Amino acid sequence: MQFFNIQDTINALKEGKVTSASLVKDSIDTFEKDKSSAIPLNAFLEMYDDAIAKAQKADDLITAARNGGQSALDELFAKQPLLGLPFAVKDNISVKGHRLTCASKILEGYVAPYDATVIARLEKSGAIPLGRCNQDEFAMGSSTEYSCYGPTRNPINREYVSGGSSGGPAAAVSANQALFALGTETGGSVRLPASYCGIYGLKTTYGVLSRWGVVAYGSSLDQVGLLAHTPDDIAKALSVMAGVDMYDDTSADLPGAASLADLKAYSDSEIAGLKIAIPKQFLETKGLMKDVGDVFNNVQDWLKAKGAKIDVVDLPVLDASIASYYVIALSEAASNLSRFDGIRYGRRVDPGEGYDELYVKTRSEGFGPEVKRRIVIGNYVLSEQFSGDTYKKGMTVRAKIQSEMAKLFESYDIVICPTCPTPAFKLGQKVDSPLEMYLSDLFTTFVNLARITSISVPAGKTSEANGSMPVGIQFAGGMFQEEKILRLAQSWEKDHPGCGIPLK
Ligand code: GLN
pLDDT in tens, 332-341: 999 999 999 8
Q: Strand, coil or helix: what is 234?
A: helix
Task: Determine the distance from the C-alpha atom of residue 371 to the mean position of all C-alpha atoms in its chain, rounded to a whole number.
Answer: 20
- Residues 258-271, mean pLDDT to the nearest whole number: 97
Between CA 426 and CA 19 the distance in angstroms is 38
Q: Is the CB of 87 under 6 A from ligand 1?
A: no
Q: How far is the CA of 127 from the centre of ligand 1 (A)?
A: 27
Using pLDDT thresholds of 50, 70 and 90, give the confidence band for residue 434: confident
**Cα separation, 413 vs 400, whole angstroms:** 20
Binding site membership of 139 for ligand 1 (Cβ less than 6 Å): yes
Spacing, Cα 191 to ligand 1 middle (Å): 10
Instruction: Identify the helix (H) or strand (E) that includes residue 331.
Output: helix 321-336
- Binning pLDDT at 50, 70 and 90, where does residue 504 land? very low
pLDDT of residue 109: 92
**pLDDT (average), residues 342-361:** 83
79 domain residue, yes or no: no
Are 147 and 431 a contacting pair, CB within 8 Å? no
- Asked if 209 and 191 touch (Cβ cutoff 8 Å), the reply is no
Range of the domain at 129: 44-49+85-504
Q: How big, in percent rounded to 5, are the helix, strand and coil portions of the chain?
A: 45, 15, 40
pLDDT reading at 108 higher than 70: yes
CA of 487 relative to ligand 1 center, distance in Å: 27
Proportion of the chain above pLDDT 90, given as a percent: 89
Closest CA to 370 of 416, 311, 330: 330
Residue 366 inside a domain? The answer is yes
Residue of 189, 373, 433 to test ligand 1 pocket, by largest number of atoms within 8 Å of CB: 189
Contact 500, 458 (CB under 8 A): yes
DSSP secondary structure letters along 65-103: HHHT-HHHHHHHHHHSTTTT-EEEEETTB--TTSB--TT
- Distances in whole angstroms, Cα of residue 282 to Cα of each of 264, 276, 328, 421, 473: 30, 15, 21, 9, 12
State how beta strands 200-203 and 128-133 pair: unpaired
Nearest CA to ligand 1 atom 10: 140
Q: Determine whether 431 is exposed, middle or buried from the number of CB atoms within 10 Å of its CB (0-12, 13-18, 19+).
A: middle
Whether the CB-CB separation of 225 and 201 falls below 8 Å is answered with: yes
Give the distance from CA 396 to its chain's centroid: 27
Per-residue confidence band for 387, with pLDDT thresholds at 50, 70 and 90: low
Question: What is the rounded CA–CA span in Å between residue 485 and residue 474?
Answer: 9
Q: Is ligand 1 within 6 A of the CB of residue 187?
A: yes
> Is 441 near ligand 1, meaning CB less than 6 Å away?
yes
User: Side chain identity at 442, as an amino acid letter?
Assistant: L
Determine, yes or no, domain membership for 193: yes
Please report which residue ranges of 367-430 form alpha helices under DSSP H: 369-382, 384-386, 392-411
Q: Which residues are catalytic?
A: 90, 165, 189
Distance 149 CA to ligand 1 centre (A): 18
Nearest to 236 by CA among 119, 125, 386, 350: 125
pLDDT band at 445 (very low <50, low <70, confident <90, very high): very high
Residue 476 has pLDDT above 80, yes or no: yes
Residue 166 CA, closest ligand 1 atom number? 9
Question: What is this structure's pTM?
Answer: 0.97
Is 20 within a domain? no
Q: What is the largest CA-CA distance in the chain?
A: 72
CA atoms 424, 425, 428, 433: torsion sign: negative
3-state secondary structure of 275: strand
Task: Specify the range with the lowest mean pLDDT, choosing from 49-58, 354-363, 408-417, 455-464.
Answer: 354-363
Residue 201 beta carbon below 6 angstroms from any ligand 1 atom: no
The pick from 92, 165, 220, 223 for probing ligand 1's pocket by mutation, whose C-beta has the most ligand atoms within 8 angstroms, reads 165
CATH number, residue 376: 3.90.1300.10
77-81, 146-150, 500-504: segment of lowest average pLDDT: 500-504
Number of domains in the chain: 1
Does any domain span residue 316? yes
Judge if the beta carbon of residue 217 lies within 6 A of ligand 1. yes
Determine the Cα–Cα distance for residues 162 and 147; give it in Å rounded to an integer: 12
Provide CB contacts within 8 A for 328, sequence distance 6+. 218, 220, 221, 391, 394, 395, 398, 449
Q: How far is CA 245 from CA 7, 100, 127, 306, 451, in A?
A: 27, 22, 19, 40, 18
What's the CA-to-centroid distance between 55 and ligand 1, angstroms? Answer: 33
Residue 11 counted as domain residue:
no
CA of 374 to the centre of ligand 1 (A): 11
Is 390 inside any structural domain?
yes
Give the list of residues 6+ apart from residue 306 with CB closer than 8 angstroms, or none.
268, 271, 272
Residue of minimum CA distance from atom 5 in ligand 1? 187
Closest ligand 1 atom to residue 448 Cα is 8
The CB of 421 under 6 Å from ligand 1? The reply is: no
